[in-house]
Amino acid sequence: MPIVSTPALEFVVAEASNNGVSDVLVVLSKGKTAIADYFAPDPDLESALQEKGDEAGLASIRRAGQLATFHYVEQLEPRGLGDAVAHGQQFSAGEPLVVLLPDDLIDDTDELLGTMIDVQAERGGIVLGLIDVPRAEIRKYGCAVPAPGADLSADVVALVDLVEKPDPQDAPSTLALIGRYVLPPEIFDALRGTKPGAGGEIQLTDAMRQLAHDGVPVHGVVFRGRRYDTGDRLEYVKAVVQLAGRHPEIGRDFTAWLREYVSGLA
């Protein structure tokens, strides 16, 4: 999914890279090899650009591949987010891991992942990225249950439980999980014991919930910055418009055109 001319996935890999993640495992659905091709070097195109002396073009096609060392695994059946994460066991090699869902974009001038990694290093267990949503919207998300008496205006909130996509009237809070997780290696044992849940899929939320019940500490870092949801059609278009308006090359012209276009709609 391109945002102007950069795939959404590249923004997410850049976020990981900017926060010290050097190795990225991409869990691909069956046959999505174009994604691996995108991050791989392209020697023919590189030498053509080199011959033309197109330094800017060369830098731009190399940029994505230089963000990290890439690894790939195919998820042959769409059995859910929990199943996708389970494909990372060997890759994580017994260490905590960061899970990023590429349909959630965090603005690169706002801070989240670095704080989450620091909180996990200090307190261990699970650390989740959270946003406070209007109650009607909590049905689209995993929902965090804060510890009794937790200060919900704090940046880091202790959690005692999680519920996947609750009905708004039953939701224990309006704190929603966005696609940012720092997980301990114990998640893989929990995933192995997780039965299909909401939507018949293996839910990561259910495996984390099991760990929470087993006494593993769970904390949420509440994000109050700019987030774009490219997994929803309307939100995707809004993300493209907002990021196009701030684009270094086309931002100014696009904003001028947008003003004119919108005033013509009124």
How far apart are the C-alpha atoms of 245 and 43, rounded to whole Å? Answer: 33
- Selected binder of ligand G1P within 28, 133, 171, 176 (CB under 6 A): 176
- Selected binder of ligand G1P within 100, 104, 126, 133 (CB under 6 A): 104
Among 133, 138, 59, 127, residue whose Cα is nearest residue 98: 127
Note whether 205 binds ligand G1P by CB under 6 A: yes
Note whether 178 binds ligand G1P by CB under 6 A: yes
**Residues paired with residue 130 on neighbouring β-strands, in sequence order:** 177, 222
Query: Nearest distance from residue 147's CB to ligand G1P, in Å?
Result: 19
Joined together, the tokens standing for residue 126 give 């699970």
Alpha carbons within 13 A on the beta-carbon side of 234: 0
- Selected binder of ligand G1P within 10, 15, 83, 164 (CB under 6 A): 164
Nearer to ligand G1P, 142 or 220 (CB): 142
**Residues paired with residue 31 on neighbouring β-strands, in sequence order:** none
How far apart are the C-alpha atoms of 137 and 255, rounded to whole Å? Answer: 30
Note whether 141 binds ligand G1P by CB under 6 A: yes
CB of 223 closer than 8 Å to CB of 110: yes
Nearer to ligand G1P, 189 or 229 (CB): 229
How far apart are the C-alpha atoms of 239 and 234, rounded to whole Å? Answer: 9
Give the x/- contact pattern for ligand G1P in 23-52, rule: CB under 6 A: ------------------------------
Our CA angle for 99, 103, 211, nearest 5°, is 30
Element (H, E) at 182: strand 175-183
Nearer to ligand G1P, 117 or 130 (CB): 130
- Selected binder of ligand G1P within 99, 177, 187, 191 (CB under 6 A): 177
Note whether 105 binds ligand G1P by CB under 6 A: no
Residue with tokens 């086309």: 250
Joined together, the tokens standing for residue 156 give 């880091």
Give the x/- contact pattern for ligand G1P in 59-98, rule: CB under 6 A: ----------------------x-----------------
Note whether 101 binds ligand G1P by CB under 6 A: yes
Instruction: Point out the residue whose Cβ comes nearest to ligand G1P.
Output: 142
- Residue ranges binding ligand G1P (CB under 6 A): 81, 101, 104, 141-142, 164, 176-179, 203, 205, 231
